Amino acid sequence: MENNDTINVILVKLQTHLSVFEEAELKKQLTEYINYMILQDFERLVQLLYRIDINEQKLKDLLLENQQTDAAIMIADLIIQRQIEKSKTREEFKSSNENQSKDENIPDDDKW
């Protein structure tokens, strides 16, 4: 499970539309991978969280408030939330660019 490909595959899959079962399976895989990194390669975990753009203060607060909950599960949830946010932002940006492209095809006299 040390392979960076594992996490990259999971992150890519999280950016697609998944069934509840698929998302649960990816969360399980992600949680296992995070647990591995917590125990074996914490520095890589920190780098991963930075690369994914997980808010450090949000993570610290969450871990502090939920000390009885498995940290890997909470981190996995944050990663999933962040990937969904990124996916939505890309969709909005794509939609915005498509609308802008349509506007470019309108003659100047017809534009508002």
DSSP per-residue letters across 8-72: HHHHHHHTS---HHHHHHHHHHHHHHHHHHHHH-HHHHHHHHHHHT--HHHHHHHHHHTTTS-HH
pLDDT at 107: 63
Q: What is the pTM of this model?
A: 0.73
pLDDT in tens, 7-19: 777 777 776 777 8
pLDDT at 71: 96
What band does 108 get if pLDDT is binned at 50, 70 and 90? low
Residues whose CB is less than 8 angstroms from the CB of residue 35 and which lie 6 or more positions away in sequence, other chains included = 70, 72
b or e along 77-112 (b: 16 or more beta carbons within 10 Å of the residue's beta carbon)?
ebbbebbeeeeeeeeeeeeeeeeeeeeeeeeeeeee
Q: Show the tokens assigned to 34.
A: 């995070």
Phi, psi at 36, each rounded to 5°: -60, -45
Domain ranges, ordered by start, for the chain: 4-102
1 pLDDT band, cuts 50/70/90, is: very low
The two three-digit tokens of residue 77, written as one number:
């949830």
Residues 26-77 pLDDT 10s? 899 999 999 999 999 999 999 999 999 999 999 999 999 999 999 999 999 9
